[in-house]
Amino acid sequence: MSVQIIDIKKQKKLHSLIYKPFFLFLIFIHICSLSASGQSWKLIKEKDGIKVYARPYQNTKHRELKAFGVFNTSLSSLVAVIKDDKSVPDWINRMKIFKNIKVLNDFQWYTYAELSLPWPYNNRDLISLNTLKQTEDGVIIIDIENKPQFLPKKGKKVRMQHAKGYWRFKSLGNGKTLVTYQFYAQPNLGLPTWIINPLATKGVYNTLKQLRKVVKRSQYQQANISYIRP
């Protein structure tokens, strides 16, 4: 009887050769869907496996942004990070204060956010209603709806009146998830768009880059949320 010896390094290499093209194909399909829907998205930044797209917002000079990347984590882990208000300043760019101010249930909650800006500009704050749902095919979507009147204004901070976005998590199998983040906000800085737009691009990119690091923390990797189907 012969004994077959398995070379672990060769096995891992073969595994990578099989699955890497598959993940690249899924990303390609995702990019094609942006064009197929008639939306004029344009790739403006690509680094560290994160891609950032932009398009004009409702025929204005402002832009809304969409970024995505493949993370080595589960749906439950990502939802656990999003709902943990204490960790948000660690990964959302320029986030100074972030709080869950009213939790309606597992699927809807209000948040307060304060974004720090350099002098001479006052910090901006944003109140959002977050709504979580999971589609029939298992995709997690968290809609972010601006609710500027939910709380009175605080001090000299400028309340952001126009903002919207969403998170989208799609399991790719094999412990990988395609993360999509789309957001638009009008910060009312009084600056030309040629200054604001690059700052916004950098902010969205850094947000996904930091989220990829934070989600690796043990408390999130061990998360198993009962109402999230794997």
Residue 14, pLDDT score: 47
Are the CB atoms for 115 and 141 separated by under 8 Å?
no
Contact 144, 132 (CB under 8 A): no
**Mean pLDDT for the chain?**
84
Integer CA distances (angstroms), 39 to 53, 54, 64, 69, 88, in order: 11, 10, 11, 20, 30
pLDDT score at 118: 81
Task: Show Cβ contacts of residue 64 under 8 Å, excluding neighbours closer than 6 positions.
Answer: 54, 55, 57, 182, 183, 184
DSSP per position, 216-228: TSHHHHT---TTS
* Mean pLDDT along residues 35-44: 70
Q: How confident is the model at residue 62 (pLDDT cuts 50, 70, 90)?
A: confident
pLDDT at 26: 42
Residue 46 pLDDT > 90: yes
pLDDT at 40: 86
Domains in the chain, start-ordered, CATH in brackets?
40-221 (3.30.530.20)
Average pLDDT over residues 2-14: 46
pLDDT confidence tier of residue 147, bands split at 50, 70 and 90: very high
Quick one: pLDDT band at residue 38, thresholds 50, 70, 90?
very low
Threshold 0.75, pTM exceeds: yes
Is 70 exceeded by the pLDDT of residue 17?
no
8-state DSSP, 73? S
Helix ranges (H only) for the chain are 8-36, 75-83, 193-214, 218-221
Length in residues, the chain: 230
Mean pLDDT across the stretch 149-178?
A: 93
User: Does the structure show a pLDDT above 60 at 173?
Assistant: yes
Ranked by mean pLDDT, the top range of 36-40, 41-45, 121-125, 189-193 is 41-45
Span 30-48, average pLDDT: 68
3-state secondary structure of 205: helix
pLDDT per residue over 18-36, tens digit each? 444 444 444 444 444 444 4
Query: What CA–CA distance (Å, rounded) separates 76 from 12?
Result: 26
Check whether 37 has a pLDDT greater than 70.
Answer: no
Q: Report the amino acid identity of residue 189.
A: L
Amino acid sitting at position 171: S
Nearest to 143 by CA among 166, 114, 170: 166
